Structure 1
């Protein structure tokens, strides 16, 4: 900000405090209003300065700043005025000798980037920016070199408060029960709640990430940890433009992604299409000591050789019916074809001597297809924010997973003959259909208040057909196992109504909301298992035909107090629900080995949580600080427990992992993040999150209560070198964790990246290394009354990637300016 602008802003502040209009308080007043926009991107400019002066009275000065929508409204007495609109790095615009004898609407005022400030805009845009709203934090990722050629999961791993573990599971503040949305809605792009698909989508498709730890009533109440909302890119620049990104890496990976946009005055056509191939070698070691059975110790050495190739495309068009309404239609299609080869070398010991060694090999193929059609209608009744939004979405997902398992005895030092280890063929077929209907209505009340109401219906059906064929010892033929083979039909219907009201008076804003949700969880299990068989397997009654309804109220309260223009305090409260997904309910096992099985629990009920969040934000010239403390209390919390089944296979007890409703989970924590730009060539970003959780409850007579303190932190630095070269480092550490049965060591990882602008800044060549030290490994110790197990697991080895991005009909600075301004919001949130 120039010295002249600082003097102007200070004078305006003093003028407001001392009481403007003091000399004109008895005169009739009129309103000068308008909306300030970026001329190239057509996006609103927040905090633009409006200065109003009288040519005939040099002592008169009035004005203000624009709000989050770029709008301003200032009352003045009748007269003739000069009006000047300014925004940092933009060329000012003036309206001279404007006669005000009635309300004056200046309409849309477009400002262009000042040619002398272009370099400054690029620097600001390339750093990760954070915006704080009443119910969320918005991270504009900027130019993150370490995710070039990577996936959406890779990009999320660099967002404060978010952690992605070695298996790709996403957690928010250490809690894995997080809801992932795409453009504000459940989506096939996010795998209908499973985050696996995020590891197949290119990071270049992301515009920004919204971390919503205190969701307002307009959001689905699902996800006790909160919501991560991924906003996809949709350029707003007129004309035809886009970019192409290609990458190649080791272990073997390659891909190409194209983002193209064609925008005219009547429509905006956008498309993201990509093809990628990734291999993911990994491995694990498991050392289990049993308290009973023929073998006192079992060592397992597992090697994972994964490969996946996929094609995805997202094509859409926004058509402007008039200057206030538009309709957007888009289709998404994804095809994936993968193969996982798991080799498990098992050594069994008796009296510390090797008694038997077996080699198990599982070859699993996976073919999946996802299709989604979305229709969106927006009618903006006026410029004040009065609008109606309607959405329809249909998605279908099909997945086939054939697997063939063989196991052979390599060494046998026991007195017994070599056991017969039957080959197995497993065929799993899943079909999922989902419909979404949504309507949101926003009504501004006066200048500083807003009312909102809406409906969302989410209707989902999933059918899993599981077939197990086992080799017959006598004939060598594969025979269907009728007791384990089954068809599981699962339906989840959620209907919700919500309303919320927000207002601002002075420096204080609040947003109050209430959401009513009815959840129907319905399922049937078609199996040859008798009820007695199921009880013997689980140790408790299992309902194979259930229809459960849950009606709940979910209040939300979000408050914000502006201590200054660059400093605020927020307070949030919300009630959330965690609904069990289909794979957590399906009781038929998936097996890592013949003696380690996972089974869903059809008796699993939703859990409920109440959460409080107190936040503080402060911006200085070169530093932004965000911080918060939070508390959450959850009832019927999910917990996975391991138990011995009392059944043995070749002298080893079969261990079962099952999800249960534990009594309570209490969580308290604090986090802080700092964005620091000490110089144009250096940008630093760090965050840390400390949390404690305590669980209480028992299952089958065993106490699973536990208490644990843990933390995670990340640090990123970016250095701009001569010759258009940038260097970036990202470091992440997750502290040790503990639950009722398992202790996990801390995990450290380090990413490095280097990039150079070429072809007159129309292209970027970058090289990055993810997990430079090859240290993203989970080391755990599990202790139960039947066994003790030590394990080391690595999902994916160190990755090297070389990426080339070429931009056509758009400069590098244009692309960054679009990211800085954030594109379109998902709509409707009261900002205060």
Structure 2
């Protein structure tokens, strides 16, 4: 608590200094407003520029940019002005000799694309990699050199507030309860962690980080949500981008986007192929204990992994502009992956005096194959009134994963060779329907409501054959069915400098968890309301503060529920829990944002309370393997978790050639819960899982333009140590480097990057179970990676439809009206 007081005091002091540092500005007497849209599709144009030039005094110039709704507001003085509205690859519109004597609304200004410009001009203007907004952060993937030749997991691991551990688990502000969306829809992958490692980074346009979502979004994800937005061409005519990459360890990939747009339709496709090897390693050194905590024996386990993967990811779609206000979009996605994973495990056994006894070698050969097909459709209707909109979405997908493993087991103290065979076959289907309607009510207010139906079925067929004999204790078919129907409504309005958004979401869940072989059937039904409230106050033109509240849910899925899993280690086994209940989170967030010409500062203080939170516990199951107790790791609903923290993000451009972005997150975590299990002697064993822990995370990104227009980017990350219920994880530092150079008259770019320069990115942990085991472990999912890539663009700018805001301004975006 003392740490929290100190940090809170520093935060308040920092905010005070920033407020005092705001320069005095002379306010103009008049305000010029309006909206800029694309002529054909009526889509608002963000970052269009508006310039006012005084016809009598050419040195008197005023200007501004449009926000994410296409609206602008420019302070000006009285006089006669030529007004120019411009956007990259669009024909500019000019209003000649406009007399300005009072605040004026220019209405809606339509810009028409100019395809001829695409072949003649390459625009070097560049949007910042991270846009800081009041209710979210937007990460523009195309400007990050670190992810060239990488995957979506690499993208997420470079985003402020987001961390990806070495096993691929994603956390937001230290909380792994995160909802991941792709183009606003839940991922249809069976294993989202593996899916994120298959989609190439080059297919991603941007990622939205929303730490406290409103009722508009799914209630899933107590820690917030990440929305991954895929690329889709927008420019008139034929244009595209192609990227090839090679790396060591093997990381060969080829991807491209192609777009053809005419007045009535827009065709687009993204294709990607990769052939990768992700070697990793792990170790666990364990000291096994007697009931009085004296040493019984030792076992040191090491692992070497070779993960070979060949994957293809592609989509094809079209926008059909049925009228000026009605668009129909259809997209087909196909993803295929072939994997070959060799997991070589050595277990060295020692007696109580740490004298070597013998060695056991387990080799796990895995052959995996996955296939995913998805069709999505969208109808968008824009009505005459600005902001009046109806969208209807449908998504239908089928996914299959097959994993076959052959495990050999041989020890130096015996001539017997054991053989285990496992088969894990999963099939999933998912149908999603969604309707959203937005109706503006007067000036500065709007009402919206919608429906969403999410219906999925996942079947997991898992079996084990031990030395040619089926093992029924590890064999079952798990059938998971989930039906979620949701309704939501939001009402937002603005009064002077105050903005308000009130919303509620109702979700009805009907879930079946059936173990078909053991005939264990379990149905869970529950209906819940999820309210959300947002308040925003505009302190000044460049300063805003907010407070928000929302209620969230986390439903257990997949591996967490399946009681039958892999046997790569015969003494450390993960086992799911089909009786897990959902966890509920109440989240509150206080935000503050301040902007200067070269600096944007954003901070937030947040608190979460989660009931029935999931916690992984380790316990012996009573079996022995060569005298070593088998330890089961399984998730349970462990009472209540409290989480309080604060973070800040800084975007700073001290010079045109140097850009800095930093993110710091500190959190305090407290768990209140007890666990009791029955041991091999039929005696209850009580464990108290109450614990308090603090941890922190920081990342610094520097991008410098060197002589000869060479870009140099550095990412440095540190994950602080954290106590856990049965041990602790240690702090880890890692660094990435990247360089790039534009060639071929800026139509091409060559890049070189090193991921994990010091080969230090590992999960390091200590576990202590009194009377059972005391262990130390390290796990490195992927060793240091070196990549080279080449990008070629034709008929498209380096940063498509992007322009850096003037005066360092960026709109707040989000759900707030006005």
- TM bucket normalised to smaller: 0.7 to 0.9
Residue 151 of structure 1 pairs with residue 151 of structure 2: yes
Residue 275 of structure 1 pairs with residue 273 of structure 2: yes
Correspondences of 1:333-352 after superposition (within 5 Å): 333-351=334-352, 352=354
SS in 2 for 1:676: strand
Judged with a 3 Å threshold, the aligned counterparts in structure 2 of structure 1 residues 714 and 501 are, in CA distance, closer, same or farther, namely same
Judged with a 3 Å threshold, the aligned counterparts in structure 2 of structure 1 residues 50 and 718 are, in CA distance, closer, same or farther, namely closer
Residue 262 of structure 1 pairs with residue 263 of structure 2: no
Please, which moves more after superposition, 641-650 or 137-146?
A: 137-146
Distance across 2 between alignment mates of 1:507 and 1:99: 25
Distance across 1 between alignment mates of 2:671 and 2:193: 25
Correspondences of 1:44-443 after superposition (within 5 Å): 44-45=45-46, 68-71=68-71, 84=83, 93-96=94-97, 107-110=108-111, 122-125=124-127, 127-133=128-134, 135-188=135-188, 191=189, 194-292=192-290, 296-351=297-352, 352-410=354-412, 412=413, 418=414, 420=416, 422-443=418-439
Judged with a 3 Å threshold, the aligned counterparts in structure 2 of structure 1 residues 459 and 342 are, in CA distance, closer, same or farther, namely same
Equivalent residue, structure 2, for 1:560: 536
Which of residues 766, 779, 787 in structure 2 aligns to 1:801?
Answer: 787
Deviation (angstroms), 1:453: 0.3
Is the 8 Å Cα contact of residues 336 and 372 (structure 2) preserved in structure 1? yes
Higher RCO (CA 8 Å, separation ≥ 6 residues) = 2
Is the 8 Å Cα contact of residues 497 and 539 (structure 2) preserved in structure 1? yes
Distance across 2 between alignment mates of 1:280 and 1:10: 54
Distance across 2 between alignment mates of 1:768 and 1:165: 20
Distance across 2 between alignment mates of 1:384 and 1:229: 25
Judged with a 3 Å threshold, the aligned counterparts in structure 2 of structure 1 residues 11 and 196 are, in CA distance, closer, same or farther, namely same
Distance across 2 between alignment mates of 1:397 and 1:348: 42
Is the 8 Å Cα contact of residues 445 and 817 (structure 2) preserved in structure 1? no
Distance across 1 between alignment mates of 2:322 and 2:552: 38
Give the unaligned 5+ runs of structure 2: 1-23, 677-685
Correspondences of 1:472-483 after superposition (within 5 Å): 478-483=468-473
Which of residues 482, 486, 499 in structure 2 aligns to 1:492?
Answer: 482
Deviation (angstroms), 1:155: 1.2
Deviation (angstroms), 1:632: 0.4
Is the 8 Å Cα contact of residues 254 and 277 (structure 1) preserved in structure 2? yes
Equivalent residue, structure 2, for 1:671: 647
Distance across 2 between alignment mates of 1:724 and 1:40: 37
SS in 1 for 2:124: helix
Which of residues 636, 639, 643 in structure 1 aligns to 2:612?
Answer: 636
Q: TM-score, normalised by structure 2?
A: 0.87
Distance across 2 between alignment mates of 1:316 and 1:493: 28
Which of residues 683, 692, 699 in structure 1 aligns to 2:668?
Answer: 692
Judged with a 3 Å threshold, the aligned counterparts in structure 2 of structure 1 residues 639 and 819 are, in CA distance, closer, same or farther, namely farther
Residue 748 of structure 1 pairs with residue 733 of structure 2: yes
Note the alpha carbon deviations across 1:217-267, whole angstroms, 9 max, x for none: 110000110000011111211111011000000011100001111111111
Correspondences of 1:537-552 after superposition (within 5 Å): 544-552=520-528
Note the alpha carbon deviations across 1:181-228, whole angstroms, 9 max, x for none: 01111123xx25722211111111111111111101110000110000
Distance across 2 between alignment mates of 1:147 and 1:63: 35
Equivalent residue, structure 2, for 1:725: 710
SS in 2 for 1:601: coil
Is the 8 Å Cα contact of residues 142 and 816 (structure 1) preserved in structure 2? no
Judged with a 3 Å threshold, the aligned counterparts in structure 2 of structure 1 residues 466 and 229 are, in CA distance, closer, same or farther, namely same
Equivalent residue, structure 2, for 1:513: 503
Q: How many residues align?
A: 760
Residue 452 of structure 1 pairs with residue 448 of structure 2: yes
Distance across 2 between alignment mates of 1:158 and 1:183: 19
Correspondences of 1:573-722 after superposition (within 5 Å): 573-700=549-676, 701-722=686-707
Note the alpha carbon deviations across 1:731-763, whole angstroms, 9 max, x for none: 111000111012111111111111111111100
Give the unaligned 5+ runs of structure 1: 1-8, 21-31, 56-60, 75-79, 413-417, 472-477, 530-543
Is the 8 Å Cα contact of residues 215 and 505 (structure 2) preserved in structure 1? yes
Deviation (angstroms), 1:626: 1.1
Deviation (angstroms), 1:110: 3.0
Deviation (angstroms), 1:107: 3.9
Q: CA RMSD in A?
A: 3.3
Distance across 2 between alignment mates of 1:41 and 1:320: 10
SS in 2 for 1:359: strand
Equivalent residue, structure 2, for 1:3: none
Note the alpha carbon deviations across 1:17-61, whole angstroms, 9 max, x for none: xxx9xxxxxxxxxxx965356999975246965879999xxxxx9
Please, which moves more after superposition, 297-306 or 63-72?
A: 63-72
Judged with a 3 Å threshold, the aligned counterparts in structure 2 of structure 1 residues 62 and 593 are, in CA distance, closer, same or farther, namely closer
Judged with a 3 Å threshold, the aligned counterparts in structure 2 of structure 1 residues 52 and 455 are, in CA distance, closer, same or farther, namely farther
Equivalent residue, structure 1, for 2:797: 811
Judged with a 3 Å threshold, the aligned counterparts in structure 2 of structure 1 residues 780 and 384 are, in CA distance, closer, same or farther, namely same
Distance across 1 between alignment mates of 2:712 and 2:555: 43
Judged with a 3 Å threshold, the aligned counterparts in structure 2 of structure 1 residues 131 and 745 are, in CA distance, closer, same or farther, namely closer
Distance across 2 between alignment mates of 1:773 and 1:498: 48
Deviation (angstroms), 1:349: 1.1
Is the 8 Å Cα contact of residues 41 and 321 (structure 2) preserved in structure 1? no
Note the alpha carbon deviations across 1:240-299, whole angstroms, 9 max, x for none: 101100000001110000111111111111111010011011111111111149961111
Judged with a 3 Å threshold, the aligned counterparts in structure 2 of structure 1 residues 165 and 119 are, in CA distance, closer, same or farther, namely farther
Deviation (angstroms), 1:356: 1.8
Is the 8 Å Cα contact of residues 126 and 804 (structure 2) preserved in structure 1? no
Q: Who wins on radius of gyration, i.e. which is larger?
A: 1
Note the alpha carbon deviations across 1:303-329, whole angstroms, 9 max, x for none: 111111100101110110100010000
Distance across 2 between alignment mates of 1:373 and 1:336: 19
SS in 2 for 1:221: coil
Equivalent residue, structure 1, for 2:746: 761
Note the alpha carbon deviations across 1:81-133, whole angstroms, 9 max, x for none: 97735679997722446999xx99754343999x9xx99973542x3241415
SS in 2 for 1:723: helix
